[in-house]
Amino acid sequence: MPHHPDRGPDPRPNPGPNPRPNRGRTRPVHPWPLRLMHWLNATAIVVMVMSGWQIYDASPLFGFSFPGRITLGEWLGGAIAWHLAAMWLLVLNGVAYLAWGSLNGHFRRRLRPPGPREVWRDTILALTFRLDHRHGVYNAVQRALYLAVIAFGVLAVASGLAVWKPVQLWFLSDLFGGFRASRYVHFFAMAGIVGFLAVHLMLVALVPKVLPPMITGGRLSEDAP
Ligand code: HEM
């Protein structure tokens, strides 16, 4: 019977070849490109959302405006300058993340789309504070939230381009049902991202041990999934 490595050193005189050759070796929980892209994305999102609220205030779609102290850019022209500058960061960084995650298997390993049963089970466990968290493994609720925010991000960029260049990118504008409809889609995509961020920050606050590895990388055994 093979000796289980978690039971300490093997007492037999000749235990044979090491059944787990990677034992003792480690790798980061979050590799540096992921951490860099995550924080660049977070910066771009905050600038996009706050300057977007200022742009919205110049011509509100609904019966409310965003208070000046939570907007960026001071006035319409200033806010558009912030919005377009951060757009380049968001888009280039987002394309890099999607390429990196698909080419090296990150999405396949860590962001497998969960089924509704899994999401339901993990939601109940999370709400009753019984959901276990292992570094480097995302539960079904996390995976559903991450995939949703990636989709909202793509929708926000596509509808934003339709609002920005409705003539040159008429096919995008048409896709969303015209200029005005594109504005509504853009607004709801923003609301989805802000809603995600509220839940994301709450989950990080509930399980604070997940934050340091997203900053420093952390260490995970090479044998871990
Ligand atoms: C601004 C404050 C933010 C903090 C403190 C934060 C924190 C974190 C932490 C700690 C993780 C790792 C979770 C774990 O290991 O279980 C994570 C992952 C993630 N966060 Fe954030 N985050 C922030 C903003 C954002 C924003 C604005 C977005 C997108 C709109 C975002 C999207 C994601 C995604 C998609 C992942 C999974 C990444 C992957 O593995 O591919 N985060 N975040």
* pLDDT for position 23: 62
Residue 129 falls in which region: left (phi positive, over 0), alpha (psi -120 to 50) or beta: left
pLDDT values of the chain reduced to their tens digit, one per residue, 225 residues = 444 444 445 555 555 555 555 566 889 999 999 999 999 999 999 999 999 999 999 999 999 999 999 999 999 999 999 999 999 999 999 999 999 999 999 999 999 999 999 999 999 998 898 888 888 899 999 999 999 999 999 999 999 999 999 999 999 999 999 999 999 999 999 999 999 999 999 999 989 999 999 999 999 877 666
- What SS3 state is found at 96? helix
Q: What is the pLDDT of residue 25?
A: 82
The token pair that represents 157 in the structure block: 């960029």
Atom 35 in ligand 1: residue holding the nearest Cα: 146
Measured CA to CA, the distance from residue 55 to residue 75 in angstroms comes to: 8
Predicted TM-score (pTM) of the model is: 0.88
How many Cα atoms are found within 13 Å in the side-chain-facing hemisphere of 7? 6
- The ligand 1 atom nearest the CA atom of 133: 16
Residue 221 has a pLDDT of 77
Structure tokens, 148: 């949703």
CA-nearest residue for atom 16, ligand 1, is 210
CB of 221 within 8 A of CB of 26?
A: yes
Quote the pLDDT of residue 5.
Answer: 45
Q: Cα(54) to centroid of ligand 1, in Å?
A: 25
From 214, 216, 219, the mutation candidate for ligand 1 (largest count of ligand atoms within 8 A of CB) is 214
Q: Which residues line ligand 1 (CB under 6 A)?
A: 34, 38, 41-42, 45, 101, 110, 146, 149, 193, 196-197, 200-201, 204, 210-211, 214
